[in-house]
Amino acid sequence: MARQHYSFHLHMSKRKQRTLLDHIAAVGAFVYPLTGLPQLVLIFRGETSGVSVISWFGFLLFSLLFFIYGVAHRIKPMIITNMLWIAIDAMIVTGVIVHRMM
């Protein structure tokens, strides 16, 4: 019986080499959620007119969904970004509700 040769059997490192795109995504994972901070500052100053609680609650729900997806598939930039968005979205929703009740 002849031996089969499997040319696709290569010993690859379990750890992938990080590309430039990986580094950019890692930075973006931290920077992108910071874009919500100006809105958060305005809300905690009491300026809530024009802010839709329904929209921000929707953003919160989808951030939670994509966070869970990122955890399930071990996608670190997705986990980091959505974890930060969950915090920011929750603070915005809470801030709007609290300031409108006052």
Chain segment 52-81, per-residue pLDDT in tens: 999 999 999 999 999 999 999 999 999 999
The answer to the question of residue 88 being in a domain is yes
Give the structural domain span for 91.
Answer: 20-101
Q: For residues 65 and 62, what is the distance between their CA atoms, to the nearest angstrom?
A: 5
The answer to the question of residue 52 being in a domain is yes
The answer to the question of residue 84 being in a domain is yes
Q: What is the pTM of this model?
A: 0.78
The answer to the question of residue 34 being in a domain is yes
The answer to the question of residue 37 being in a domain is yes
**Interhelix angle 37-44/76-101, nearest 10 degrees:** 20
The answer to the question of residue 15 being in a domain is no
**Residue tagged 């603070």 (tokens):** 91
The CATH number covering residue 61 comes to 1.20.1280.290
Q: For residues 64 and 79, what is the distance between their CA atoms, to the nearest angstrom?
A: 10
The answer to the question of residue 29 being in a domain is yes
Give the pLDDT confidence score for residue 18 in this predicted structure: 82
Q: For residues 91 and 44, what is the distance between their CA atoms, to the nearest angstrom?
A: 9
pLDDT in tens, 26-51: 899 999 999 999 999 999 999 999 99
